[in-house]
């Protein structure tokens, strides 16, 4: 049954007999045409003579010539296929599929100007055939598919995407739609890869210090023996144990937790060697995460310097103990500890040689302060302004300029809709110290301020037990281990020696929520595919 649609000033039909007259498809040939199509697709050399005989018998039909081109392609004879395509166009100048074959040939050769000459400068089917008011659905999807090839060929991926969306609307189940969608995705990934390479050449990186080797191997003596649990249990730690820890005398608890943080530095070589030999064990290696989370939970603002001391360590240290915690969770204990310590945070942002994503967590926390305490907006905006002007007055020799960090900060400033900082951001771009692969071009930043997204950027502040539940129920490593039934328990003696039963090894791709999205969109991962 025929279905009719209207698009861009012309009708679209799915009537199977619609093109019969145009293609000189007589009743006799109509009974044979499927056989020739099948022979072309099967790709047997013996079918060449059969199809040539059919062309001689039915010279006015362009479809059989098209099948000959398909057959030559199947046989790997591209030259014969190209010759046939030119023959079709010369003999049947109004036959759309002949033109598309020729246009696609030019695509494969990288001859995009010639593609445009065939498809028409308007890239519109009606403009190519002004005398026609109706087209078959296969004509429309095939033509749009070829225009998508053209636009991806010249690098206009946005225009290609608009046409891909058109295909999805008019023919969601079409093979042309499936091909175009996959082709566009591939081109976006290739574009993203090229942009990333270019960005890497232009980016201004931070050089973090080398972690000092240590010789200590024994665990410290704590005032509260319950602190040992931090070295024995991962994020699946029993809630009663967390409650017990939180109800310890606050002063001694803070002292012990600060000692745990110092222990991670003092025994760095010990834990590094242990991990290299046995693998990263979730039950053992989360003692730093526990300590930071607990200090956040009790809002130990006076311990902020102890926290910044471990965050000032090497990239090697961060990767060993904190990993995704930095990019996904660190903003939260910072929020609880440092929301009234903005000057201390500012001084930390101005220190040299600190890991990009550590500082990004501080910027992220500031963004959340605005969303959770809107009355403090001006205070936070001024904080960002001070940081921007600090970076504007630094040089590469200072080892504090970090183009990725600045790009991520721009994203946070966009998220709080601080349009008044646009002149300051423009100066960052003028100085060429912004990673455009992260926040986009200056034009896209301006557009983001003028047309902010509607979704809420405010995040819920969770308790330590709620956050642990959220991590263990959503992070890939935990879910995979639950599916596999892997035990991650360990035995511990008070001298700091461990025996592993089943080591937990991270296998997930290291893409933090504030990293550039690998799809090449130019957005942060948290604002792109992470939520997709």
Q: What pLDDT does 394 receive? A: 95
Name which of 180-194, 369-383, 513-527 the model is least confident about.
Answer: 513-527
CA–CA gap between residue 369 and residue 464 (Å, rounded):
19
Instruction: Give one word for 53, left, alpha or beta, with left for phi > 0 and alpha for psi -120 to 50.
Output: alpha
Name which of 149-163, 271-285, 368-382, 499-513 the model is least confident about.
Answer: 499-513
State the angle between helix axes of 331-338 and 356-372 in degrees (0 to 180), rounded to the nearest 10. Answer: 60
User: For residue 209, what are its two tokens?
Assistant: 């210090």
**Strand partners for 500:** 490
Residue 425: band (very low, low, confident or very high) from pLDDT cuts 50, 70, 90: very high
Secondary structure letter of residue 5 according to DSSP: E
- Residues 402, 208: contact at Cβ < 8 Å? no
Residue 190: band (very low, low, confident or very high) from pLDDT cuts 50, 70, 90: confident
State the angle between helix axes of 356-372 and 403-415 in degrees (0 to 180), rounded to the nearest 10. Answer: 10
Give the chain's mean pLDDT: 87
Could you identify the residue written with the tokens 């606050």? Answer: 250
Question: What's the sign of the alpha-carbon dihedral 159, 162, 166, 168?
Answer: positive
- Residue of 196, 191, 137 lying closest to 169 (CA atoms): 137
pLDDT(209) > 80:
yes
State the angle between helix axes of 250-266 and 287-297 in degrees (0 to 180), rounded to the nearest 10. Answer: 150
Residue 486: band (very low, low, confident or very high) from pLDDT cuts 50, 70, 90: very low
Name which of 25-39, 166-180, 335-349 the model is least confident about.
Answer: 25-39
pLDDT(471) > 90:
yes
- Across the range 406-430, mean pLDDT stands at 96
Name which of 101-105, 315-319, 364-368 the model is least confident about.
Answer: 101-105
- Residues 327, 515: contact at Cβ < 8 Å? yes
- Residue of 265, 256, 270 lying closest to 228 (CA atoms): 256
Q: Which residues contact 144 (CB under 8 A, 6 or more apart)?
A: 125, 163, 166, 167, 176, 180
Residue 481: band (very low, low, confident or very high) from pLDDT cuts 50, 70, 90: low
Residue 496: band (very low, low, confident or very high) from pLDDT cuts 50, 70, 90: very low
134: enclosing H helix or E strand: strand 134-136
Q: What pLDDT does 440 receive? A: 87
């Amino acid at each position: 049954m025929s279905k009719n649609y209207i698009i861009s000033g012309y009708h679209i039909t799915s009537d199977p007999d619609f093109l019969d007259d145009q293609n000189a498809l007589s009743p006799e040939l109509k009974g044979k045409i499927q056989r020739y199509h099948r022979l072309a697709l099967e790709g047997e050399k013996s079918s060449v003579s059969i199809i040539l005989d059919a062309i001689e018998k039915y010279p006015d039909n362009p479809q059989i010539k098209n099948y000959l081109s398909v057959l030559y392609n199947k046989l790997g004879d591209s030259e014969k296929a190209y010759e046939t395509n030119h023959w079709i166009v010369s003999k049947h100048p109004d036959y759309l599929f002949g033109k598309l074959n020729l246009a696609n040939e030019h695509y494969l050769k990288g001859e995009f100007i010639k593609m445009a000459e065939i498809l028409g400068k308007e890239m519109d089917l009606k403009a190519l055939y002004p005398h026609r008011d109706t087209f078959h659905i296969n004509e429309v999807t095939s033509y749009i598919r070829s225009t998508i090839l053209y636009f991806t060929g010249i690098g206009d991926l946005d225009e290609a995407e608009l046409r891909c969306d058109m295909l999805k609307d008019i023919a969601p189940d079409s093979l042309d739609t499936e091909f175009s969608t996959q082709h566009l995705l591939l081109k976006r990934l290739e574009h993203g890869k090229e942009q990333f390479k270019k960005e890497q050449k232009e980016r201004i990186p931070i050089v973090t210090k080398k972690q000092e080797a240590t010789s200590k191997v024994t665990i410290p003596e704590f005032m509260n023996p319950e602190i040992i649990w931090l070295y024995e249990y991962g994020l699946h730690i029993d809630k009663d144990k967390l409650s017990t820890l939180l109800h310890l005398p606050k002063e001694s608890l803070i002292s012990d937790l600060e000692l745990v943080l110092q222990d991670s530095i003092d025994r760095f070589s010990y834990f590094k060697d242990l991990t290299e030999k046995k693998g990263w064990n979730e039950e053992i290696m989360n003692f730093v995460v526990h300590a930071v989370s607990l200090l956040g939970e009790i809002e130990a603002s006076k311990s902020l310097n102890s926290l910044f001391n471990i965050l000032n360590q090497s990239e090697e240290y961060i990767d060993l103990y904190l990993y995704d915690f930095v990019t996904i969770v660190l903003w939260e204990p910072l929020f609880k500890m440092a929301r009234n310590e903005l000057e201390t945070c500012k001084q930390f942002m101005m220190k040299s040689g600190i890991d990009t994503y550590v500082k990004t967590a501080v910027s992220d926390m500031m963004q959340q302060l605005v969303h959770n305490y809107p009355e403090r907006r001006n205070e936070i905006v001024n904080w960002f302004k001070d940081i921007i002007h600090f970076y504007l007055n630094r040089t590469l020799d200072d080892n504090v300029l970090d183009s990725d960090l600045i790009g991520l900060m721009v994203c946070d400033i966009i998220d709080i809709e601080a349009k008044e900082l646009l002149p300051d951001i423009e100066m960052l771009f003028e100085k060429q110290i912004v990673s455009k692969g992260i926040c986009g071009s200056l034009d896209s930043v301006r557009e983001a301020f003028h047309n902010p997204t509607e979704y809420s950027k405010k995040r819920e502040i969770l308790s330590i037990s709620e956050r642990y539940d959220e991590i263990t129920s959503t992070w890939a490593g935990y879910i995979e281990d639950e599916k596999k039934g892997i035990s991650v328990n360990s035995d511990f003696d008070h001298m700091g020696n461990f025996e592993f039963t089943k080591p937990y090894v991270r296998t997930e791709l290291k893409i933090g929520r504030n990293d550039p999205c690998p799809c090449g969109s130019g957005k942060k991962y948290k604002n792109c595919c992470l939520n997709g």
